[in-house]
Amino acid sequence: MDERLRRSAAHVLVADLGAPVLDEAVDHHLRRVLRLRPGDPVTVTDGAGGWRPCRLVADGLAPDGEPEHELPPDPPVMVAAAPPKGERAEWLVQKCVEVGVDHLVLVVAERSVVRWDGDRAVRHLDRLRRIAGEAAAQSRRVWWPTVEGPVPAADVLPAGVVAEPGGRSIGPEDHLVAVGPEGGWTEHEVAISGGSVSLGPTVLRVETAAVVATALMVATRDRATA
């Protein structure tokens, strides 16, 4: 990561890197909540690999360098997860994004307890996307992660592997790991998947398993591309 990103006082999503503008809510957050002052370094991103160093000034932002661009993560890290109850789903999204997930898909498994439909699904998804954006800004990402779903697990499982006790270790060929509900995957779901991988010797909660899967895939990708 570029040191200007790492050391910025804040990282903000904007529509135009050429003339970055803070919306009113973000400007208030930077000045009133984070207590930033004119001259403090702020980086901005378009969420599609582009970013630019800036300085906070009295009436907004002043560019402090030319726009930069980073290539997308290759391969992208993808996690499919059956959402847990309550705020644990929000924690799952936040921490997976901070660790480095690129695409997160919420799935409905055969043993899922949490099932979102209609307007409720739209509301939950909107909130989780906001949380993902906040986590991406916190972790200084320049490629914004996606959060999709909910979709039937059977639509996703053939494209990846499932987290299951007794599975093999995650390898460089694994780019999509699916984490099941608290009741686990059924035999049918395991059978239609691309195989099973282990996340370690202990029993993990759904949200913890999703974070561990993300971390293992990111670390494996980084070693393979180093």
Q: pLDDT tens digit string along 32-55?
A: 999 999 999 999 999 999 999 999
Q: How many separate domains does the chain show?
A: 2
CB burial string 190-211: b at 16+ within 10 A, e below: beebeebbebeeeeeebbbbbb
Instruction: Work out the pLDDT band at 116, boundaries 50, 70, 90.
Output: confident
Q: How would residue 104 be classed by pLDDT, with cut points 50, 70 and 90?
A: very high
Residues 129 and 204 in one domain: yes
Last residue in a domain, options 17, 43, 69: 69
Q: Are 163 and 180 in contact (CB under 8 A)?
A: yes
- Do 179 and 104 fall into the same domain? yes
What mean pLDDT is predicted for residues 172-176? 96
Please name which of 158, 159, 160, 135 lies closest in space to residue 145, comparing C-alpha atoms.
Answer: 135
State which of 69, 97, 112 marks the end of a domain: 69
Domain range for 114: 78-225
Instruction: Answer yes or no: is pLDDT of 128 > 90.
Output: yes
**How many whole angstroms separate alpha carbon 208 and alpha carbon 92?**
7
Q: Are 134 and 98 in contact (CB under 8 A)?
A: no
- The CATH number of the domain holding residue 9 is 2.40.240.20
Q: Backbone phi, then psi, for 126, in 5-degree steps?
A: -60, -45
Residue 118 has pLDDT above 80, yes or no: no
Confidence at 113, pLDDT banded by 50, 70, 90: confident
Q: Are 196 and 166 in contact (CB under 8 A)?
A: yes
Is residue 115 domain-shared with residue 188, that is, in the same domain? Answer: yes
Residue 143: its pLDDT value, please?
A: 98
64 plus 82 within the same structural domain: no
96 & 46 share domain: no
On the question of pLDDT at 121 being above 90, the answer is no
pTM over 0.85: yes
Q: What is the pLDDT of residue 117?
A: 76
Check pLDDT > 80 for residue 226.
no
Mean pLDDT throughout 135-139? 97
Does residue 102 share a domain with residue 201?
yes
Answer yes or no: do 101 and 64 share one domain. no
Residues 93 and 204 reside in one and the same domain: yes
54 in the same domain as 90: no
Neighbour-count burial for 117-138, b at 16+ CB within 10 Å, e otherwise: eeeeeeebbeebbebbbebbbe
207: domain CATH number is 3.40.1280.10
What pLDDT score was predicted for residue 5? 96
DSSP one-letter code for 76: P
The domain boundary residue, chosen from 46, 69, 92: 69
Same domain as 93, residue 58 = no
Residues 152, 134: one domain? yes
Band of pLDDT at residue 10, cut at 50, 70 and 90: very high
Q: Percentage of the chain surpassing pLDDT 70?
A: 100
Q: Are residues 92 and 197 in the same domain?
A: yes
